[in-house]
């Protein structure tokens, strides 16, 4: 029997997930069958158009009506509408898949985590980069002990869409609507990836020192004469120490000219090192214990994670394939009543760390998450 899916949100993430759902049958025949059942939004006209484009059977302007009608509820709206519908759905016993970051504030994230803990269904936080084949392959190397003990972690997420002071104001520049800027939007990805890759080997991040920076204080409002205040960071930097003593550095920027979506992570262990860059997401750089330098691996072999579902070796995948993989895993977990990770718990842990970065920025001291 097919799973009915309800999705709140029909912009960037709505499309990315709808596309993923649409592609599952052809490439992951063992995934649960699904119906794109109801698309939820506020603007009826835009909603109807989106439902048509994204292949949904129904629309609704009331998420509350949808959450117990569907077999899984996807919350893909802006950060500030993550909590209420997600919690309500979980309380109704409906599995939830929520975009990242979990919530605009740590308190709200905690409520969501608690709701998930009380529910008996999967509650996933959609950190899609865990599902890049090269990242899964890297995780396998670390789990197999190929890197030895983890000593250093380095994560960076560079974009440049706000280089220009005249780039227009958007909700992503508002603390109220977005929670934070580069830190929450980009840093959440980096911290989740670091936890995924290094967390089992190095433990949690035990303390951080952080710095947030807004380079452009106000930005023009598109189509209007006025400017509006930028109340979030354009960039952040952070240092970290792990439970096992490993060190970490993290940063993100929306003003790093020349970088579009340059999410990199690098890990040094006692026996080897790894480097990954999202702009070349089919590749992993791997320094082996018996190697002399980094080996550039094109992670597109049939034996690589998820690759046999797609194309022959060397036929590279794109960014959107990560959504197919995460939907496959989430929906399989829903069907089988199994755990899915990254969970709300994972999302909360990420936010504990981001929150600590913010607190450290305010206090000028190292703080524990």
**Residues 230 to 259 in contact with a second copy, rule: CB under 8 A:** 235, 237-239, 241, 245, 247-249, 251, 253, 255-259
Assign 238 to helix, strand or coil.
strand
Tell me whether strands 273-277 and 283-287 are parallel, antiparallel or unpaired.
antiparallel
Name which of residues 35 to 54 contact a second copy (CB under 8 A). 53-54
Nearer Cβ to a second copy (46/64):
46
- In whole angstroms, how close is the CB of 365 to a second copy at the nearest point? 5
Among 38, 86, 173, 209, binds a second copy (CB under 8 A): 209
Q: Among 271, 332, 341, 359, which residue interacts with a second copy (rule: CB under 8 A)?
A: 271
- Which stretch, 39-47, 102-110, 224-232, 274-282, contacts a second copy (CB under 8 A)? 274-282
Alpha helices in 144-280 (DSSP H): 175-178, 182, 188-202
Stretch that binds a second copy, among 104-112, 184-192, 267-275, 338-346 (CB under 8 A): 267-275
Least distance CB 172 / a second copy (angstroms): 12
Which residue bears the tokens 């596309």?
19
Q: How far is the CB of 329 from a second copy (least distance, A)?
A: 19
**What are the residues whose beta carbons fall under 8 Å from the beta carbon of 232, sequence distance 6 or more?**
172, 173, 174, 175, 178, 179, 180, 181, 182, 183, 184, 214
Distance of closest approach, residue 50 Cβ to a second copy, in angstroms: 10
Rounded CA gap, 350 and 175, in Å? 18
For tokens 């909700």, the residue is 171
Comparison of 98 and 255: residue with beta carbon closer to a second copy: 255
**Degrees to nearest 5, angle at CA 26 with 99 and 57:** 60
Sign of CA dihedral 185, 188, 190, 196: negative
Binding flag, residue 213, a second copy (CB under 8 A): yes
Tell which one of 35, 170, 261, 332 touches a second copy (CB under 8 A): 261
Cβ 16 to a second copy shortest distance, Å: 7
**Of residues 4-33, which lie at the interface with a second copy (CB under 8 A)?**
12, 15-16, 18-19, 22-23, 25-27, 29
Q: Which is nearer to a second copy, 71 or 233 (CB)?
A: 233
Give min distance, CB of 211 to a second copy, in A.
5
Residues comprising the chain, all counted: 369
**Directed axis angle between helix 12-27 and helix 44-54, to 10°?**
20
Distance CA 123, CA 342 (A): 9
Q: Is 204 in the site for a second copy (CB under 8 A)?
A: no
Order of strands, edge to edge, in the sheet holding 58-60?
58-60, 34-40, 3-8, 72-75, 96-98, 123-125
Q: What is the DSSP letter of 367?
A: B
What is the total count of residues that contact a second copy (CB under 8 A)? 83
Between 165 and 337, whose beta carbon lies closer to a second copy? 165
DSSP 22: H
Residues 283-322 that bind a second copy (CB under 8 A): 286-287, 291-298, 300-301, 310-321
Q: Binding to a second copy by residue 268, rule CB under 8 A?
A: yes
Q: Which residues between 121 and 180 bind a second copy (CB under 8 A)? A: 151-152, 154, 159, 161, 163, 165
- Whose tokens are 């004469």? That residue is 225
Applying the rule CB under 8 A, the residues between 70 and 99 that interact with a second copy are none
Write the CB contacts of 136 (distance below 8 Å, at least 6 apart in sequence): 130, 304, 305, 306
Q: Which of 136, 273, 327, 355 binds a second copy (CB under 8 A)?
A: 273
């Amino acid at each position: 029997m097919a799973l009915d899916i309800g999705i709140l949100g029909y912009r960037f993430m709505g499309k990315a997930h709808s596309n993923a759902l649409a592609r599952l049958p052809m490439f992951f025949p063992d995934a649960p069958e699904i119906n794109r059942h109801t698309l939820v939004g506020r603007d009826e006209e835009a909603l109807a158009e989106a439902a048509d484009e994204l292949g949904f059977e129904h629309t609704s302007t009331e998420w509350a009506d949808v959450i117990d009608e569907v077999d899984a509820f996807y919350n893909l709206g802006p950060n500030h509408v993550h909590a209420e519908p997600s919690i309500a759905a979980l309380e109704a016993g409906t599995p939830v898949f929520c975009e990242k970051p979990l919530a605009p504030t740590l308190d709200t994230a905690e409520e969501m985590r608690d709701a998930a803990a009380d529910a008996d269904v999967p509650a996933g936080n959609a950190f899609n980069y865990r599902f890049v084949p090269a990242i899964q392959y890297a995780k396998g190397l670390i789990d197999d002990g190929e890197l030895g003990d983890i000593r250093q972690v380095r994560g960076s997420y560079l974009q440049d869409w706000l280089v220009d002071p005249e780039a227009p104001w958007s909700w992503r520049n508002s603390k109220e609507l977005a929670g934070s800027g580069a830190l929450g939007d980009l840093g959440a990805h980096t911290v989740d990836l670091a936890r995924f890759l290094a967390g089992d080997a190095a433990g949690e991040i035990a303390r951080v020192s952080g710095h947030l920076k807004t380079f452009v204080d106000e930005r023009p409002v598109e189509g209007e004469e006025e400017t509006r205040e930028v109340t979030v960071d354009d960039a952040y930097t952070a240092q970290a120490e792990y439970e096992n003593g490993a060190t970490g550095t993290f940063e993100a920027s929306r003003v790093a000219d020349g970088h579009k979506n340059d999410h990199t992570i690098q890990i040094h262990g006692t026996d080897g090192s790894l480097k990954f860059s999202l702009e070349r997401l089919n590749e992993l750089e791997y320094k082996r214990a018996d190697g002399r330098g980094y080996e550039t691996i094109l992670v597109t072999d049939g034996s690589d994670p998820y690759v046999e579902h797609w194309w022959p070796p060397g036929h590279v995948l794109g960014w959107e394939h990560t959504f197919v993989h995460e939907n496959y895993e989430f929906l399989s977990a829903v069907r089988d009543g199994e755990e899915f990770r990254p969970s709300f718990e994972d999302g909360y842990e990420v936010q504990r760390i981001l929150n600590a970065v913010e607190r450290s920025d305010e206090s000028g001291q190292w703080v524990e998450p």
